Amino acid sequence: MGIEAEAWLTIAGLGLTEGGTRIVEDVSLPLAAQRTVVLGPNGAGKSTLLRLIHGLLHPTAGELHWPRALSQAMVFQRPVMLRTTALANVIYGLRLKGHAARDSEGLAHAALARVGLEHLATRPARLLSGGEQQRVALARAWALEPELLILDEPTASLDPASSREVERIIGEIAATGARILMTTHNLGQAKRLAEDIVFIDRGRIVEQTAVAQFFTLPQTEAAQRFLQEETP
């Protein structure tokens, strides 16, 4: 275990089977670190695990034990933008969570300012670049002040400059005390953002350890092979 702390989520025997195929199988682990990155090969079950934790998918086995319910938000690899302005996209998220209309606009403006997009508030969101759309999605999530922010490959489709900006924003959200749980294929990004690494392969958790140990002394052959294949 990378971080000895009280778990904010304990997963016990979690599984998901669809059409006779086991996508996630017997996942059991505590999540205690503030910043956890899930790594693994393509098709290993990373995104599925995050969706199970967020409640977008329902497990066919096992359970999630939350010692205390945490407010959550999730950002995806390809953000969903409504056919309206960047500002209205952020306001929509706030209104959906029950914020009053009179408060939502000010909160949305502030969130866009934090991600460096206040000057594009009135621009149609779908006309923004991919990096700008992802920052709108982060603003929409950050405006909700989540205790847990889940991110599924948030920079996978972005250029290096946009990726760095997204990383900066994630770091600032973490600095507010929010827990971060994310997947990425970028090993450098994992090193920069993670405290703990969870390594998943073929739907099973193979390794969970502190980030420094994972990259210098992986405990399993599967993790060693993954690092060799993914390192240029």
pLDDT of residue 2: 43
Q: How far is CA 90 from CA 102, 108, 111, in A?
A: 14, 5, 8
pLDDT of residue 3: 42
Each as own residue / partner, the long-range contacts of residues 191-194 (CB below 8 Å, 24 or more positions apart, any chain) are 191/215, 192/167, 193/35, 193/37, 193/167, 194/33, 194/35, 194/36, 194/37
Q: How many percent of the chain have pLDDT more than 90?
A: 93
Local confidence band at 230 (pLDDT 50, 70, 90 cut-offs) = confident
Taking residues 144-172, report their average pLDDT.
96
Domains of the chain: 1-71+147-232 (3.40.50.300), 81-145 (no CATH)
